[in-house]
Amino acid sequence: MRHLYRCPLRWADLDLLGHVNNVTYVDYLQEARVDMFRTHAPDSRSEDLAEGVVVVRHEVSYVSSLTFSFEPVSIECWVTEIRAASFTMAYEVFSEDEVGERTVYLRARTVLTPYVFATERPRRLHPEEKESLGRLLEPDEPVRPPAAPEPVDVPGGAYDVHVRFSDVDVYGHVNNVKYFEYFQEARIQLMVAQGRELGEGFHLVVAQTDVDYKRPILFRPEPYDCRTWVSRIGSTSVVFESVVRDGDQVLARARVVGVCMDNETGRPTPVPDTFRAAATG
């Protein structure tokens, strides 16, 4: 069984291209996830999943662009794996026309773990919670994060993450969605600082974002250190790696795949030589 959530769009969700920003989708997933927990919780104990879980990993694949509409967008979510102290969810964001033809905008997976915020420690799933999640189970391949690369210091790659008070959730931690914003800001700074211009007639769209959450980021006046670098340039794609640290302690990592697009055709196109030269110059 899959849970269906109808998510309203806001005008402020759009980016400069008139599309829903890649960060905003993660907020939609969070809304759908909480709605699923609250809808299918059989008792007060299972409602703990709506109030007491933390995200361990996000894997987000952007399929097509979503533009503003007064009609809510549909989000299906379900469970793909249940373990002793964690579970994995999958999502599909889509709309359907009058004949039921589906347009998919995004697919994603999230690994979550129950968490006791009073002690700042994860816990095991209760039997009631496993039973509740089991009714939404469609088994799939487990999430297996790849080995994390060592950070690479490059010119323009250092970005100070200043946590705003509004970034913090009710548990005193920076909300998982905000990490996507931090990595986006760091990525844009890197491109500007290194003069990585695609040139007129091209733009870069995010095709995939994977984020691993290692330790909570907390509100404080001092900034956290974020390092971003380009790890690979393919024919039409660019891979960015990022890490947020507090001293030597890694708090989060991200891997973002961007695809170079032709403005006229809206299709992927080879990465311009000027952009490649900035990577080696």
Print the domain residue range for 73.
1-144
Q: Where does a domain end: 84, 119, 144?
A: 144
% the chain with pLDDT above 70: 94
Domain match, 198 and 242 both: yes
Domain match, 123 and 256 both: no
Q: Where does a domain end: 121, 144, 167?
A: 144
Domain match, 263 and 245 both: yes
Residue 89's CATH number: 3.10.129.10
Q: Is residue 235 left, alpha or beta, with left meaning phi > 0 and alpha meaning psi from -120 to 50?
A: alpha
Domain match, 117 and 254 both: no
pLDDT exceeds cutoff 60 at 47 = no
pLDDT at position 50 is: 61
pLDDT at position 7 is: 98
Domain match, 168 and 101 both: no
pLDDT at position 45 is: 55
Q: Which of 128-132, 161-165, 209-213 has the lowest mean pLDDT?
A: 128-132
Domain match, 158 and 222 both: yes
How far is residue 91's CA from residue 110's CA, in Å, rounded to a whole number? 9
pLDDT digits (tens, 9 = 90+) for 192-210: 888 776 677 888 899 999 9
Domain match, 117 and 157 both: no
Per-residue pLDDT band for 170 (boundaries 50, 70, 90) equals confident
pLDDT at position 218 is: 96
pLDDT digits (tens, 9 = 90+) for 122-138: 999 989 889 989 999 99
pLDDT exceeds cutoff 80 at 49 = no
Domain match, 130 and 152 both: no
Mean per-residue pLDDT of the chain: 91
> For residue 145, what are the contacts with CB-CB under 8 A and spacing of at least 6?
57, 210, 212
Domain match, 19 and 139 both: yes
Domain count, the chain: 2
DSSP 140-198: -PPP-PPPPPPP---TT-EEEEPPPGGGB-TTSBB-HHHHHHHHHHHHHHHHHHTT---
Domain match, 140 and 159 both: no
